[in-house]
Amino acid sequence: MSDEIEQILKKVSGDIDPFKKILSYVPGFKGYIDRQTRRDQDKILRDSIANRFEELWQRISTLQRDLISQGDLALVDDLESAAIKLRAFIDRVRRAPRGYSGLFDAVKINSDELERLYQYDASLLTLADEVSRAIDNVEASFGSEGIAAAIRHLRTMAQQCVDLYENRAKVIFQE
């Protein structure tokens, strides 16, 4: 597990108030508190992912301005396509359901499913590094013939982010 993920685990686990710690010794409450902690960890992790991708989106916006200032308007639309896909991904991650499973919910999410969801969300952090490298490649390709290919690769990576998020719900229902 990466350091960032471990920090999130420690932050949420350490933030349990004394009353919840006492309740964790009451039969039946420990499982509830553990699930709630896992939901909180998942929310913090998803916020971290969204913030990281927000930084990447800002970098793409800067690249768009650079292309416009250089008069390379033909490539701006392709870069805008990547930016829109990344923005859609960020918005979906930030607003994803927390995995609540109330008494009357149609779909119940147990601890194992919540753990799989958390691990899936954690894997999205590695995707941020790949997108960052794709943006680096676009920056390095400025003024060369390879810029169109670099932008296409970035657009593909942005689409991969959207596709991976779309598969998030399937993680819950794996057997």
HSE, side-chain direction, 13 A CA sphere, residue 168: 25
Domain boundaries, the chain: 50-172
The mean pLDDT value for 148-174 works out to: 88
- Asked if residue 57 has pLDDT above 80, the reply is yes
Nearest to 63 by CA among 74, 54, 50, 76: 76
Asked if 82 contacts 154 with a C-beta cutoff of 8 angstroms, the reply is yes
Q: Taking 90 as the threshold, does the pLDDT of residue 90 lie above it?
A: yes
pLDDT beyond 50 at 155:
yes
Determine the Cα–Cα distance for residues 100 and 114; give it in Å rounded to an integer.
9
Higher local confidence (pLDDT), 92 or 170: 92
- This prediction's pTM: 0.74
d(C-alpha 155, C-alpha 159), whole Å: 6
Q: Distance between the two ends of the chain, CA-based, in angstroms?
A: 23
pLDDT of residue 101: 43
Ramachandran sector of residue 107 (left: φ over 0; alpha: ψ -120 to 50; beta: rest): beta
Task: State residue 22's pLDDT score.
Answer: 62
The per-residue pLDDT for 123 is 81
Give the tens place of pLDDT for each residue, 104-138. Answer: 344 456 667 777 777 887 788 889 999 999 999 99
- 152 vs 11, more confident: 152
pLDDT at 169 over 70: yes
Amino acid, res. 103: L
**Coil, strand, or helix at residue 15?**
coil
99-111 pLDDT tens trace: 544 433 444 566 6
**Which CATH number is 50-172 given?**
1.20.120
Contact by Cβ (8 Å): 120, 171? yes
From the centroid of its chain, how far is CA 42?
Answer: 10
Q: 63-75 pLDDT, tens per residue?
A: 999 999 988 888 9
Contact present, 32 and 102 (Cβ < 8 Å):
no
Q: Could you tell me what percentage of the chain is helix, strand and coil, using 3-state DSSP and rounding each to the nearest 5?
A: 80, 0, 20
Ramachandran region of residue 99, left (φ > 0), alpha (ψ -120 to 50) or beta? Answer: left
* Residues belonging to the chain: 175
